[in-house]
């Protein structure tokens, strides 16, 4: 294994050496989108980051199994389908295909397996039953809630004290025993005729959709769980409560790796705020490489915006010019990428890795010796290919 990677773990609040459970295998799960509409640039930022991380893990010699779920059951989907005059599952199937096309356009190519959650409703019902049997859930008028007072580690991932948590009630309802309890099952029909459960017809809560996919596919414990930072509470906290209660194995996840949000004019890009730019629309005005380069020039944990896009595009064009002048397709000698690796091993510091690429190409342009210039330029081409950007490409 090359170098030593450290990643910031939201659970501990520090950078930790990356030690997967069963090297060289790495099991990674990232929350996929809710497919109620076309994917937007906020999704692009998140999925480009995990793609670059998975590529880099592969470069380091790890064998990554990358699982992404697709939330294809949700009220927002049922509402959108109704508006479009379509069946909700047909609608979400169409939107899932559109999302997968978007990922292809973005050159996000590392996901080993996509899993639509609607295939796992039987497993969700079984998990809810098991939580009830274990005394960690209760039924209330067709609803089933997780009893968060029973789970001692509730609030640990989001670093909230009991007092903090009282200020953040979830899903207000008089049926709930405590403010932080969340729904595992709801008596709402999202798809006509579906789904039958011991608590009557209804649909699964959001959080149970993840453990119903991860436990059968990845097992009770896995290495990396990703998603945008706004999923930490309550979504990921709820996954831990469900998963660790169901399997008894802990920690369910070794490294909680969260990506910063994308902002538009100071606000999070989200459907509910109406400030979204669809990936498809953005790619009419820029290329996937330009977008990826722009996002990589911001640290993945920082909040991002697009104010630096024009500068990033210009910088990529300038780097390409030098790389093409010296880096030719026949390549030079393999130079070590030590400084590039050092930057990425330090909690995936891609801005610092790009600075090394720029400095190296500057050195190539100044080198009197053609062979030396070629070797330097070629090392930057190889380095950027690891992150999914082709410096010899034109788009």
Pick the binder of Zn ion from 5, 11, 31, 208 (CB under 5 A).
31
User: Which residues make Cβ contacts (< 8 Å) with residue 43, sequence separation at least 6?
Assistant: 33, 99, 102, 279
Binding part of the chain for Zn ion, among 83-91, 127-135, 204-212, 246-254 by CB under 5 A, reads 204-212
Residues in the chain: 395
Q: How far apart are CA 247 and CA 116, in angstroms?
A: 22
Q: How far apart are CA 259 and CA 299, in angstroms?
A: 9
What is the full DSSP assignment across 2-43?
-S--EEEETTTTEEEE---SBTTEEEEEE---BTTS--BHHH
Minimum distance from CB of 156 to Zn ion (Å)? 18
Q: How far apart are CA 310 and CA 81, in angstroms?
A: 37
Q: How far apart are CA 354 and CA 296, in angstroms?
A: 8
- Please list every residue from 304 through 333 that binds Zn ion, using CB under 5 A: none
Minimum distance from CB of 61 to Zn ion (Å)? 28
Phi-psi group of 31: left, alpha or beta (phi > 0 → left; psi -120 to 50 → alpha; rest → beta): beta
Minimum distance from CB of 49 to Zn ion (Å)? 16
Tell me if 210 contacts Zn ion by CB under 5 A: yes
3-state secondary structure of 149: helix
Cα Rg for the chain, rounded, in angstroms? 23
Q: How far apart are CA 140 and CA 359, in angstroms?
A: 63
Minimum distance from CB of 210 to Zn ion (Å)? 4
Minimum distance from CB of 31 to Zn ion (Å)? 3
Minimum distance from CB of 268 to Zn ion (Å)? 17
Binding part of the chain for Zn ion, among 26-34, 55-63, 73-81, 338-346 by CB under 5 A, reads 26-34
Which lies closer to Zn ion via its Cβ, residue 210 or residue 290? 210
Tell me if 74 contacts Zn ion by CB under 5 A: no
Binding part of the chain for Zn ion, among 31-39, 141-149, 196-204, 241-249 by CB under 5 A, reads 31-39
Which lies closer to Zn ion via its Cβ, residue 231 or residue 312? 231
Which lies closer to Zn ion via its Cβ, residue 190 or residue 377? 190
Binding part of the chain for Zn ion, among 24-32, 81-89, 281-289, 376-384 by CB under 5 A, reads 24-32
Minimum distance from CB of 236 to Zn ion (Å)? 7
Minimal CB distance residue for Zn ion: 31
Q: How far apart are CA 91 and CA 291, in angstroms?
A: 28
Tell me if 124 contacts Zn ion by CB under 5 A: no
Which lies closer to Zn ion via its Cβ, residue 138 or residue 256? 256
- Please list every residue from 359 through 388 that binds Zn ion, using CB under 5 A: none
Q: How far apart are CA 179 and CA 192, in angstroms?
A: 31
CB 56 within 8 A of CB 353: no
3-state secondary structure of 269: coil
Binding part of the chain for Zn ion, among 51-59, 125-133, 206-214, 328-336 by CB under 5 A, reads 206-214
Which lies closer to Zn ion via its Cβ, residue 28 or residue 31? 31
3-state secondary structure of 48: helix
The residues of the shown chain that bind Zn ion, judged by CB under 5 A, are 31, 210
């Amino acid at each position: 294994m090359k170098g030593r990677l450290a990643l910031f773990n939201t659970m501990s609040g520090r950078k930790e050496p990356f030690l997967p459970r069963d090297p060289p295998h790495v099991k990674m799960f990232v929350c996929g989108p809710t497919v109620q509409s076309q994917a937007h640039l906020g999704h692009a930022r998140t999925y480009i980051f995990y793609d670059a991380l998975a590529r880099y893990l592969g470069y380091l010699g790890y064998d990554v199994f990358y699982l992404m779920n697709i939330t294809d059951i949700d009220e927002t989907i049922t509402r959108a389908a109704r508006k479009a005059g379509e069946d909700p599952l047909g609608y979400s199937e169409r939107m899932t295909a559109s999302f997968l096309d978007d990922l292809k356009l973005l050159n996000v190519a590392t996901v080993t397996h996509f899993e639509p959650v609607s295939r796992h409703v039987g497993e969700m019902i079984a998990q809810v039953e098991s939580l009830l049997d274990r005394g960690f859930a209760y039924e209330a008028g067709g609803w089933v809630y997780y009893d968060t007072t029973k789970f001692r580690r509730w609030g640990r991932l989001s670093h909230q004290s009991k007092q903090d948590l009282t200020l953040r009630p979830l899903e207000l309802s008089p049926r709930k025993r405590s403010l932080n309890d969340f729904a595992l099952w709801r008596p709402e029909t999202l798809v006509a005729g579906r789904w039958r459960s011991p608590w009557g017809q209804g649909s699964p809560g959001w959080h149970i959709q993840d453990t119903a996919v991860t436990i059968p596919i990845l097992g009770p414990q896995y290495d990396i769980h990703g998603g945008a930072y706004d999923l930490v509470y309550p979504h990921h906290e709820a996954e831990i409560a469900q998963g660790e209660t169901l399997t008894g194995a802990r920690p369910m996840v070794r490294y909680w790796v969260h990506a910063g949000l994308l902002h538009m004019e100071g606000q999070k890009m989200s459907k509910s705020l109406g400030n979204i730019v669809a990936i498809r629309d953005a790619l009419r005005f820029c290329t996937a490489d330009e977008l990826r380069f722009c996002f990589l020039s911001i640290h993945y944990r920082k909040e991002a915006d697009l104010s630096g896009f024009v500068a990033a595009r210009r910088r990529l064009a300038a780097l390409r010019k030098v790389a093409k002048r010296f880096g030719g397709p026949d390549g030079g000698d393999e130079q070590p990428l030590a400084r590039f690796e050092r930057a990425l091993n330090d909690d995936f510091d891609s801005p610092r890795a790009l600075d090394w690429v720029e400095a190296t190409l500057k050195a190539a342009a100044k080198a009197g010796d053609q062979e030396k210039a070629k070797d330097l330029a070629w090392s930057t081409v190889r380095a950027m290919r690891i992150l999914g950007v082709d410096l010899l490409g034109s788009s």
